[in-house]
């Protein structure tokens, strides 16, 4: 990310801590990525192992929007 804090971080949680951001942020971001990836991979017809077909793309977009709101709230609270 171009700064000393990022370069010194040993893992994503340490990086967030160095930035003063809640460690609760990482699981939310990971969940949002997983929800969207799974829905889009399934919609494309791929049969990848480990990809759950629980949500349609519109359902995944709605869940991702809700997760994004939580993410924005955590970021705002950490400033």
DSSP assignment of 14-48: HHHHHHT--TTHHHHHHHHHHHHHHHHHHHTT---
Given a cut of 60, whether residue 1 has pLDDT beyond it is no
Q: Tell me: the pLDDT tens digits for 47-68?
A: 777 777 788 999 999 999 999 9
More confident residue, 39 or 20: 39
More confident residue, 58 or 14: 58
Q: Percent of the chain scored above 70 by pLDDT?
A: 97
Query: At 6, is the secondary structure helix, strand, or coil?
Result: helix
Residues 6+ apart with CB under 8 A from 75: 21, 25
Q: What is the pTM of this model?
A: 0.79
């Amino acid at each position: 990310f171009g700064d000393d804090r990022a370069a010194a971080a040993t893992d994503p949680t340490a990086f967030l801590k160095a930035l003063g951001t809640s460690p609760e942020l990482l699981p939310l971001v990971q969940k949002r990525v997983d929800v969207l990836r799974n829905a889009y991979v399934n919609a494309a017809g791929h049969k990848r192992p480990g990809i759950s077909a629980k949500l349609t793309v519109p359902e995944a977009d709605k869940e991702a929007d809700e997760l994004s709101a939580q993410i924005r709230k955590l970021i705002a609270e950490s400033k």
